[in-house]
């Protein structure tokens, strides 16, 4: 899926959600996703499974580790749409 996606402007929320889940260690590592205005907040089982290079390749450079199980990624005002799509995948 990621090979079909080159920039953050060229795909829909479902594709982006799949890419984020993969970059964050897969479905088994992602517990839930939420949004706060411009940040995607994701609770993880293992914070060390994050692939920041993959996230960067998607066009998102600002990744913040927030505690032992949480990461925040600055994604812009579409954060809630991305979080919703991620939660659909994680169900």
pTM: 0.85
Q: Where are the beta strands (DSSP E) in 29-69?
A: 30-36, 39-44, 63-65
Let me know if 36 is a catalytic residue. yes
Q: Which of 1, 36, 66, 74 is catalytic?
A: 36
3-state DSSP assignment of residue 48: helix
Give the tens place of pLDDT for each residue, 37-89: 999 999 999 999 999 999 999 999 999 999 999 999 999 999 999 999 999 99
């Amino acid at each position: 899926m990621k090979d079909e996606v080159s920039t953050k402007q060229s795909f829909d929320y479902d594709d982006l959600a799949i890419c984020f889940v993969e970059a964050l260690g897969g479905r088994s590592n992602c517990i839930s996703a939420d949004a706060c205005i411009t940040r995607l907040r994701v609770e993880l089982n293992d914070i060390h499974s994050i692939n920041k290079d993959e996230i960067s390749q998607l066009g998102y450079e600002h990744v913040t580790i927030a505690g032992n199980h949480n990461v925040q990624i600055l994604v812009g005002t579409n954060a809630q749409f991305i979080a919703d799509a991620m939660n659909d995948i994680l169900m």
